[in-house]
Structure 1
Amino acid sequence: MAVDRLIWKIIIDFIVLACVGIPLLVLLLWIEPYERGYFEDDMSLRLPFKPQQISIGALAISGFVIVISTILIVEVVRDKQGKGIGEKFLSGSLIPGWLWESYNTIGIFVFGAACQQLTSDLAKAVIGRLRPHFYDLCNPSPTGGSTSSTYITSYTCLSTAITESQKKDMKMSFPSSHSSFAMYCAIFFVLYLQVKCKWRGSKLLRHAVQFAAVIGAWYVGLSRVVDHMHHWSDVAVGFAIGAVYACLVFKFVLKPKNYSALPTQWEEPPVNNTLPRAALAR
């Protein structure tokens, strides 16, 4: 019966991931963003078009590789030190405890990543905010006459270099999904290390690694503004989405145990330097 429960747990996990992943795929491939207008004198839309420093593919690969490899290494080390959850039975076979714990943690991490990405991409499609390089990339021509104070809702792109994918992408500035995903990975990584990793060899090493993760996510967001891909407010909201999802998923979905209360091989027991009192004579 226990075997059946584990198999059903895995099947249900993949079904839930598919329920989040399929709408995300639909948004990316088939949903057109809202056709938002603009003011002709809006200088925030007249920045030059620049190639982006960090593509979404490179960011996704980096984030998943860093977090997943960290989870695997930490769980293997904990299992070797006797701090794992013990072996599990699946279809009559023994599964190492570190593998099952890694599966749970990685699955929850991926689930949270898909949820925050769906939140960001849904907002992009609904809001339809134009990117800062809108004028340079599109070279819009209003349909009908207009003045500098007219809110233009109907226009055509005169630029011959723009592609259909760029026409769609230029309307998806708010919020920054790069910033959201980067901050989600960074905060989840920080919380995971804080709970699972303890080492008396250095007080600051763990915190230095955590700081590096946050700074990496911070740089990703700043690069989106420097590359004229987003307005600063897009990046700020993206950071907020990623951080909130990371905290909620880690706290209420992963529900990590309080490992700090457990004895570890890395921590030495306190030394009692007081001498025993002499026994009182009866």
Structure 2
Amino acid sequence: MAVDRIIWKIILDFIILAGVGFALLAVTLWMEPYRRGYFLLDESLALPFKEQMISVAVLAGVGFAFIALTVLIVEIVRDRQGKGIGDKYIGDSAIPGWIWESYQTIGVFTFGAACQHFTSDLAKNVIGRLRPHFYDVCKPIPRADSKLNQLGYIVEYDCAADADPALIKDMRLSFPSAHASFAMYSAIFFVFYVQVKCKWRGSKLLRHAIQYAVFIGAWYVGLSRVVDHMHHWSDVAVGFAIGALYACVVFVYVLKPKSASSLPTTWVDPPETVTNTLPRAALAR
């Protein structure tokens, strides 16, 4: 029965991940963004188009590889230090504890990443906010005979004939920033994981310096989206909020690391041993 439970657990995990992945794929490939209008002479939409510094593929690859490598290294070290959960058994086959812990942590991280990305992409398509480079990409031509184009708000318009169809769809996906969301999700997940699982007695600040460096990396990713004219600052701010919220919920309520309650939340120096040098008779007086 134990073998069946473990196998079914793994199968169900992959089915759930596949379901969330399919939902994300469906939104990305088949959902059409809301066709939002624009105000004439809106300066926030008049920035030039630029090639982005950090692509989706690079960010996703680096983020997943970084978390997976961190988890593997930490779990192997903890196992060698005798802090692991011990071996798991499927029938007569033993699975090292660090492999099982790594599988669960990376799996939960992947599940949370897919959920936060689905949340961001769904909002992108429902809101349909125009990117800052809208004018440069679309070169909109308002329809003169439209009764909806009143008071300077253009609802019905056509893009220039030479506009790239892929960019035309992408220019409506500004809110929120999926780059900022995933970057902050990965950073906060890393900060929590290292805080719970890792302890360095050689330096009080080493762990926190690494956590800060990773957080700043996520902050830079979000700022680069504004610099690249891909998002408005509010898109990035909401993306950060989505990523941080999902990281907190997923780590605390889904992963629920077992060692979190056993580790001190602050640095505690070992108590000093006081040795009484006076004889017992002298203490009695």
- d(CA) in 2 for partners of 1:272 and 1:260? 26
Equivalent residue of 1:261, what SS?
Answer: coil
State the percentage of identical aligned residues: 66
Give the TM-score, by structure 2 length.
0.92
After superposition, the C-alpha distances for 1:178-234 in whole angstroms (9 at most, x for unaligned) are 000000000000000000000111111111110011100000000000000000000
Residue 270 of structure 1 deviates from its aligned partner by 3.3
Shift of residue 85 of structure 1? Answer: 0.4
Q: Which runs of 5+ in 1 are unaligned?
A: none
Give CA deviations for 1:79-113 in whole Å, capped at 9, x if unaligned.
00010000011243110000000000000000000
Q: Distance in 2 between matches of 1:16 and 1:119?
A: 16
- Deviation string 1:151-201 (CA, Å, 9 cap, x unpaired) is 1111111151x3221111000000000000000000000000000000111
The residue matched to 1:144 in structure 2 has which SS?
coil
Could you list the per-position Cα deviations for residues 22-57 of structure 1 after superposition, in whole angstroms to 9, with x for gaps in the alignment? 110001111111111111121100001111000010
Partner of 1:14: 14
Which residue pairs with 2:124 in the alignment?
A: 124
2:246 partner SS: helix
Contact 1:40 1:149 in 2 (8 A): no
- Compared CA separation, residues 38 and 125, structure 1 to 2 (3 A): same
Letter in 2 for 1:123: A
Residue 186 of structure 2: aligned partner: 185
CA distance in 2, matches of 1:94, 1:14: 21
Name the counterpart of 1:195: 196
Q: Within 2, Cα distance between the matches of 1:46 and 1:262?
A: 52
RMSD over aligned CA atoms reads: 1.9
Any residues of structure 2 matched to 1:74-153 within 5 Å, and which? 74-144=74-144, 149-153=151-155
Q: How far is the alpha carbon of 1:16 from its aligned partner?
A: 1.0
- Structure 2 unaligned runs (5+)? none
Q: Is the 8 A contact 1:71 1:106 kept in 2?
A: yes
CA deviation after TM superposition for structure 1 residue 275, in Å: 1.6
SS of alignment partner, residue 23 of structure 1: helix
Letter of the 2:107 counterpart? G
Of the three residues 155, 158, 161, the one matched with 1:156 is: 158
How many residues in Structure 1 have an aligned counterpart in Structure 2?
A: 277
Conserved? CA contact 1:35–1:128, under 8 Å: yes
Matches within 5 A, 1:39-54: 39-54=39-54
Q: Is the 8 A contact 2:196 2:263 kept in 1?
A: no
3-state SS of paired residue (2:218): helix
Separation of aligned partners in 1, 2:263 and 2:51:
50
Letter in 1 for 2:165: E
